[in-house]
Structure 1
């Protein structure tokens, strides 16, 4: 299938009106692809691959047009957007998925909490390749840089084996000021910036702490801080080819 014939699903977890997806969709459309944009009506950050309460009920949608691109908002999560598109809820099913541009980096092992990354992994479970793209700022100035990186990553991933997933983090700087592109390992869970605190009424809370000092060399955390585009191929749930647990349990129950 020629690249210009590809049906590209674009989604995110910040919402279908978020500036990241509004920067991403036109950049992909300019490549000549058939673009389908389906994303949450509201911010669904941190939902992972959740789709609770969606079976057996109508899913509310809203539609907007901007610069020739149609944006569909759904009352649900990014993983639900991928699932709906993959079963034909919006016409022709997608050939590939791009998720983002997420506001704020998605780095380290805790990316499994990210709705943006989970959308890409859900695509892989549907047999589709996907790119999850994030920018390293909560208030970015350079959406266009991340959009350009996403477009190039999409072009690269198309001929790769089905189910290939890239998690990409982009510094918030002009394209010509990027230090380069590097393969990045996932920073370990202990590098997570999530910290526990207590609300004034005594209820537990989670907040985002400041960046850690001395990131692990070669990790997504470190490379992003050095100004590199950090690229990490990832996989979702895979079985372990080991029957020891079942064998042991069978003996205990016999």
Structure 2
């Protein structure tokens, strides 16, 4: 499936409320299994008919990227608690929760892993340091055949309130309902009937901090480079510092668009074979 086909599927998903087939979904995050936004996403996905299991860190693990808690991985089920049906906590990072969720918790391999809803945008260069995004990288690279994965993030709409304030809970509901439509649209665009994303591809989705009726649209973008970082009590938060007309998530999220960036977790530079001068390699090999 090409990125163009992904874009068509996403636009269709945003415009449609029809449900598709039920999926076996695993939810994780980096804010911890008790965060109200992951619980809201679970609720809306279940309403849509999906089988949903939360496997998320026991405590906040923001900013962990794709870090692994090796002691938890080696300990297996000893690092996992089951406080209530279909909800599991893991003593480790988001990527660790993803690995243990698939290996130790899920009786069947999940058809989709969703990481979020994260409290705080994960756009531009900050995405590489995000535990929310890092969980999807684990799904792509550390579990054998890649598992389709989506990271979903959004800033608080009520910036002075707690995540469970009335306005922020409604915001989480809006984001969750969009995710239901996104998953349904991707299912309808499936080519072989078994995968909702191309092998080795995950999506990094960000939802603007505005009400649902103010959303300007949905688009596929690249991670922006025009960004600064504020370090706060929560962690590292991205701040756009320049304007750009390029197709960058940092620009379009600020303008009121839901941004989707296809990612593969490969740190190799696009022009890797032409960065170093040939003369340097000749010297090193002499």
What range describes the TM-score normalised by the shorter chain of this pair?
A: 0.7 to 0.9
Contact persistence 2:57–2:89 (CA under 8 A): yes
Partner of 2:254: 225
Q: Distance in 2 between matches of 1:83 and 1:210?
A: 27
- Whether the aligned pair in 2 keeps the contact of 1:130 and 1:163 (CA below 8 Å) is no
> Aligned partners of 1:220 and 1:60: how far apart in 2?
36
Match of residue 128 from structure 1: 147
Q: Which has the higher helix share?
A: 2
1:191 aligns with 2:208: no
Matched, 1:22 2:59: no
What is the distance in 1 between the residues matched to 2:253 and 2:28?
23
**Runs of at least 5 residues in structure 1 that lack an aligned partner in the other structure:** 197-204
Mapped contact 1:98–1:154 kept (Cα < 8 A): no
Alignment correspondent of 2:98? 82
| CA RMSD of superposed structures (Å) | 3.1
Find the aligned partners of 1:220 and 1:34 in 2 and give their Cα distance. 31
Residue 17 of structure 1, CA deviation: 0.2
Q: 2:243 is matched with which residue: 195, 215, 238?
A: 215
Deviation >4 Å, runs of 4+? 205-210, 238-245, 247-254
Q: What are the superposed Cα offsets for residues 105-138 of structure 1, whole Å, 9 maximum, x if unpaired?
A: 0010221110101111211223111110001226
Distance 1:101 1:229 in 2: 14
Residue 60 of structure 2 aligns with which residue?
Answer: 43
In the alignment, the residues of structure 2 paired with residue 93 and residue 230 of structure 1 have an alpha-carbon distance, to the nearest angstrom, of: 28
Structure 2: gaps of 5 or more residues: 1-19, 191-196
Match of residue 96 from structure 1 = 112
Q: Structure 1 residue aligned with 2:75, among 52, 57, 78?
A: 57
Compute the displacement of 1:87 (Å).
Answer: 2.4
Partner residue of 2:88? Answer: 72
**Which of 6, 9, 28 is the equivalent residue of 2:26?**
9
Give me the TM-score of the superposition, normalised by structure 1.
Answer: 0.81
Structure 1: distance between partners of 2:227 and 2:241: 10
Cα 1:52/1:176, change in 2 over 3 Å: same
CA contact (8 A) 1:195 1:208 kept: yes
Q: Distance in 1 between matches of 2:115 and 2:254?
A: 22
Alpha-carbon distance in 2 for matches of 1:102, 1:161: 24
Against the structure 1 CA distance between its residues 53 and 128, is the aligned structure 2 distance closer, same or farther, given a 3 Å change threshold?
A: closer
Partner of 1:234: 263
Q: Which residue of structure 2 aligns with residue 171 of structure 1?
A: 208
CA distance in 2, matches of 1:76, 1:193: 25
* TM-score between both structures, scaled by the size of structure 2: 0.72
Is 2:63–2:235's contact at 8 Å kept on the other side of the alignment? Answer: no
Q: 1:119 aligns with which of 95, 115, 135?
A: 135
Aligned length: 239
Contact 1:98 1:130 (C-alpha < 8 Å) held by counterparts: yes
Structure with the bigger RCO (C-alpha within 8 Å, sep 6+) is 2
Match of 2:17 in 1: none
Change (3 A) 1:156 1:165: farther
